[in-house]
Structure formats: structure tokens, C-alpha cells
A and B are shown apart, each in its own frame.
Chain A
Amino acid sequence: MSMPFYVAPEQVIKDKADYARKGIARGRSVIVLEYADGVLFVAENPSRALHKISEIYDRIGFAAVGKYNEFENLRVAGVRLADMRGYSYDRRDVSGRSIANAYAQTLGTIFTEMPKPYEVEIVVAEIGDDSSEDQLYRLTFDGSVADEQGYVAMGGQAESITSALEAQWQAGMSLEDALKLAVRLLGEFGAEAARTLEPAALEVAVLDRNRPRRTFARINGGRLDALLA
């Protein structure tokens, strides 16, 4: 009878993490950043149907990079969790923190117990009555959660974009300025050579605190053209 090779747990964890990181790094980037009226999501995504950004609840949005079927699964679970909470208690009792916690638990369990980890990175954003109450939760493949201030970049070029955002992002930016900054950085770092991203190659949405009740809105068509002009 042959004995299986012994592999140190440290090695197993490291292999899984490397595998997940590689998968995530292959994809195009997504930027989530706070602006004066809420949170702006910008993704390089030529598809009109397979979204990387979506609505979870009244004040909560979702953005993801990595493997589509895996983050789509989590997105649907988040919508179900939020609607279930809101229906059994009240709409105000649904918080971004509880959604982020549920994702963290799920990703953590999958990472340790399943042979293949999820190759995803997720941001759960929540807006409050003013910008001091806005929250960005960043979740990675192993279930770690980080509470980010101001901006998050995920995907292939996350590190270069994050350091550029560190220098160029400011609190209280207008929607137009924030959008132009995000689109410029996605174009600058997204490929080997810098390029200008056309509106058709972008998926853009906001959580806008000036909107009544459901604050999530997609920005496309004429409005996107006008903002980028």
C-alpha cells in the first residue's frame, strides 16, 4: 500500500493562495472610490450583460473581479441575504457590515475546506447620510476583510492603480473628477501600453445619497458620454 506524500499545511495554504492570486491577476481591474455624493464604481468591462458591479440593497453596492461564476454566486447570495433581512426585520436593518461578514465567513470556509479556493476579490460598499459614514469593505479570496478608506482597486493592476490613487484621489471629489481619474488610471495601467478607454468599454455605477431609497444607479449612454467629455 502506498502512502500519500506528506505536505506541510503551510505549503498547502501557500499553494492555494498563489493559485487564487494568479487567477485574480489575469482579469481586468475595477476601481471603487468615494466621491462627494457617495461611492463610484468603475470597471473595464466590454460586456453589457455580465456585470462586475451591481446593487445589493438600498445603500449597498457590490463590485468584484476574478472568476465570473464564483463572484456571481456570491452576489446572488448577498442579494438574497439582504432581501431576507430587510423583509424579516426592516429595510434599515440591512447593513453592509453584515453582508461583508457573511462573505468573509463563506470565502474563509471555502479557502480552507475546498480543494480549490475561489479566485475572486470583492468590494462591498455602503453609503451613509454623509460621507463620514461611507464604508468600503474589501474581501479577498481567503476571507480576510479590510475596511478601506476612500478608494480600492482590485484585479490585475491593483497595486499600481492603488499607488496612483494614493497620490491623486482627494476626499469630496465631484462625480466628474472622480470618474475621469478612475477611467484614466484604468487606461494607463490596464494594458502594456497606456490607452484611452471608450465609454463602451466601461461599466460605471454609483451609490448616490441624493437618490430616494434605492441609491444604486448605473451610468451609461448619454450621461456617461457627457461626464467623460
Chain B
Amino acid sequence: MLPAAYLRSGSPSFADFLADLAPDLLSARLLLNAAVDSSTLAPHGTTIVALRGSFGAIMAGDRRATMGNVISQRDIEKVFQADEHSTIGIAGAAGIAVELVRLFQVELEHYEKIEGMQLSLDGKANRLSALLRGNLGMAMQGLAVVPMFAGYDLDRERGRIFSYDITGGRYEEHDYHAVGSGGFFAKNSMKKMYRENMTAEQAIMVALEALYDAADDDSATGGPDLARGIFPVIAVNDAAGVRLLHEDELTAYVTTIVQARQRRPDGPLVPMEESQ
């Protein structure tokens, strides 16, 4: 017979169920004994950017993971489809981050199956806060995870972006945002290039330029690797759902940018407004 926990009526949350029944499967609940900084012991993922446009929102991430000064992986994926209408990107301790994404994906699907309907976008963003809060102990020891969440809000009919801190704090970003080691460079790049109501194509170009700028100045962010054909992962969230860009599509965008950078290595020149 199925254990009583399975037959109990109650929470539609998979994470709560897991915490009751098999807490050992929640990596976030593990606590290291030693009070040491573990930040150089495990791979870290780096830069993620997201921006809104008239179509919805996009999220893009570079492909590098680092461990101290070593590149531990060139083709790691840090941007994932969370469910049919949202995307999650992660920076920080890669192993824990990927596990958090997996848990979040199951959490959303589980709710949808049990309740027969999807969570609202705010509901999803709040659940991510709760999951992240469980990781606070490890974050304090250097294994922090900083996610970013973007999706298309079917009720409000627009794209939305949420950023988080390591304590699970949740903040809505209205135009664009970047996290990770190259996040500052990427955010400054977007600050100059962002326009309101961009199309998906324009937003993709701005995101790729921002990641290029991040890779230009941050050693932990990987630029497009033409020799190996490794390009950033880009997810477009619009009314139709989530679409991850195919390699062919990406190649076209990246080639355009790399050729333009050969002429102007610092990227496109932002026009200066006439001062009054």
C-alpha cells in the first residue's frame, strides 16, 4: 500500500511533500559542518541577462562555469524553461543552482497537475523565493545561488522579470536586469541600448551585445565561441509560450555581432542627444 503521506490530502507543493517524506533529496537543506568559504570548491555559473519588450520578455545566459581561475565548463546551460510560460536563469554555485531549477520545474508542474490549473506568474515567483530561502545556510558559506525569473503574464498580457537576492528577497524589474559576475557590465551595456517596446529581434540583439560586453571585461563570463559553435542560450517568452532559440538562428545573430565588433570592438555607438 502507498505510504500514508501519498494519500493525505493537503499541499499542492512538491517541495513541501519532499521536505516531509525525503528531506535528504533537498540539497538546499544540507549544511556544511566547517565554517569555511567554499566558493572555490565547486563550479560557479556566471552572467544572465533579461529584458522586456512589446512581445513579452527574453532571458539570455553565457555558457561558462568557473572554479576559481579555472574554466570548469565551456558549454554549461544556465537558462531553462521553467514551464510553458516562464523561464529561469541561474548564477552562482552551479551544482546547487541546477538542482534548484529541477526542483522549481517539478514544483510548477506538480501544482498544475494537482490543481488542474497553472499558478499565476506572481505565484510562481513567490514559490521560487521560498525555495531559495531554504538555501540560505549554504549561501552564507559561499555556495550562493542567485536566480532570475522571467515569464509572460497571461492575466496582465505582458512580459515580467523578477530578480532575487540570496535570502529569497524578490524584486520586480521593469525594464532589464542582469545577475552574475559579469552582471554589472551587462547591465551598463543594456542601460545604453535598451529602448521601450522593442521587438523580440531587437531585444535578442541587445541581450547578445550585453553578454559580449560582460565577456569583454569579466574573465568568468564566456563570449561566443565561434570555433566550437558555443553560443549563449536565449529564451523568448511571449503569449504563445517559451521558445529557446535554435542553433541556426543563434548563429545568424552572433555572426552579425562578431562582424560588427571586428569593425568596432567596443560595440555599437549610442547616439548622443543634442543638449538643450
Q: Are B7 and A88 in contact (CB under 8 A)?
A: no
Roughly how many angstroms separate A90 CA and B20 CA in the complex, as a whole number? Answer: 21
**Which chain A residue lies CB-closest to B113?**
A79
**A81 contacts the other chain (CB 8 A):** yes
The 8 A CB mask of A54-75 against B (1 = contact, 0 = none) is: 1110000000000000000110
Residues of B within 8 A of A80 (CB): 6, 14, 17, 110
**Which chain A residue lies CB-closest to B14?**
A83
- Of the candidates A55, A73, A81, A84, the one whose C-beta lies within 8 Å of that of B9 is A73
Known interface pairs A87-B103, A106-B1, A106-B2. Does A76 touch B114 (Cβ–Cβ under 8 Å)? yes
Residues of B in contact (CB 8 Å), total 19
**B109 contacts the other chain (CB 8 A):** yes
Residues of A within 8 A of B9 (CB): 73, 76
Instruction: Report the number of A-B residue pairs with Cβ-Cβ less than 8 Å.
Output: 53
Residues of A within 8 A of B6 (CB): 76-77, 80-81
Residues of B within 8 A of A88 (CB): 22, 25
Residues of A within 8 A of B21 (CB): 84
Q: Are A83 and B25 in contact (CB under 8 A)?
A: no
Q: Are B18 and A55 in contact (CB under 8 A)?
A: no
**B102 contacts the other chain (CB 8 A):** yes
Roughly how many angstroms separate A48 CA and B100 CA in the complex, as a whole number? Answer: 34
Size class of A's contact patch? 20 to 34
Residues of A within 8 A of B114 (CB): 76, 79
Known interface pairs A87-B102, A106-B7. Does A79 touch B110 (Cβ–Cβ under 8 Å)? yes
Residues of A within 8 A of B116 (CB): 49, 51, 54
Known interface pairs A77-B6, A80-B17, A109-B1. Does A87 touch B113 (Cβ–Cβ under 8 Å)? no
**A160 contacts the other chain (CB 8 A):** no
Q: Are B103 and A77 in contact (CB under 8 A)?
A: no
Residue among A49, A54, A87, A105 with the most chain B CB within 10 A? A87
Residues of A within 8 A of B7 (CB): 73-74, 76-77, 106
Roughly how many angstroms separate A84 CA and B2 CA in the complex, as a whole number? Answer: 13
**A102 contacts the other chain (CB 8 A):** yes
**B198 contacts the other chain (CB 8 A):** no
Roughly how many angstroms separate A102 CA and B6 CA in the complex, as a whole number? Answer: 11
Roughly how many angstroms separate A51 CA and B106 CA in the complex, as a whole number? Answer: 22
**A interface residues with partner B (beta carbon < 8 Å):** 49, 51, 54-56, 73-74, 76-77, 79-81, 83-84, 86-88, 102, 105-106, 108-110, 214
Name 13 interchain pairs, CB-CB below 8 A, sorted by A: A51-B116, A55-B113, A73-B9, A74-B7, A76-B7, A76-B9, A83-B109, A84-B18, A84-B22, A87-B102, A106-B2, A108-B1, A109-B1
